[in-house]
Amino acid sequence: MSWVPATVRTVEFQEVVRRRRMVRRFRPDPVPEASVERLLRNATRGPSAGFSQGQAFLVLRGPAELDAFWAVASGAVDDGVRQAPLVIVPMSSKRIYLDRYARPDKGWTDRDEARWPVPFWHIDTGMATLLILQTAVDEGLGALYFGIVPDAVEPFRRAFGVPADHEPIGAVAVGYDAETQRRDLSARRRPLSEVVHYGRW
């Protein structure tokens, strides 16, 4: 057996966090199947309340699927985003969480939504989405998470046969990065001193 210093992995992860940026221009080259598989597998390794796992992912590739997606969900994205060869739509199912928490070990049989301090179904889908964004960096890809505007949600459901108990939280465009310039956000990043409160606000 051979050993590597544990710090190597830490540095790699820090590099993924540091390099992750929203990419808004893509080369049309397809994303290799192994990368698609890893994006999705990692997405399902995130935490979920009560291990409810109320997430689903619609994977769209090829002109027929992508044209149908952009026809309903073009919303707030630049034209360069539409070159992306892959779009993944992460979805939340509140129903799966309510079912899970109605089971004997949780006991919320009234299914009262007032019990939930925040919508954990969306929290967990957001965590899964960050795993997709970070895995994209680790695979040498770029990605953009963007919102699907409310008016587009029903047309999106109809176009792709998405059941009513699954709600898209947005979409992730993935592909090889074709940006030539990057926004420098460093001056706008809020400092820790502004956002962190030690011990008391």
What residues line the site for ligand FMN (CB under 6 A)?
21-22, 24, 76-77, 144-147, 185
172 exposure class (CB count in 10 Å sphere: 0-12, 13-18, 19+): buried
SS3 assignment, position 56? strand
| CB 21 to ligand FMN: min, Å | 4
Beta strand 171-177 pairing with 142-146: antiparallel
Mark out the alpha helices in 51-183 (DSSP H runs).
62-73, 94-101, 120-138, 150-160
Contact 174, 141 (CB under 8 A): yes
Nearer to ligand FMN, 50 or 147 (CB): 147
Nearer to ligand FMN, 1 or 195 (CB): 195
| CB 6 to ligand FMN: min, Å | 28
Nearer to ligand FMN, 98 or 137 (CB): 137
Buried b (16+ CB within 10 A) or exposed e, 38-65: bbbebbeebebbbebbbbbbbebbeeeb
| CB 27 to ligand FMN: min, Å | 18
Nearer to ligand FMN, 30 or 80 (CB): 80
| CB 16 to ligand FMN: min, Å | 13
| CB 15 to ligand FMN: min, Å | 15
Nearer to ligand FMN, 11 or 185 (CB): 185
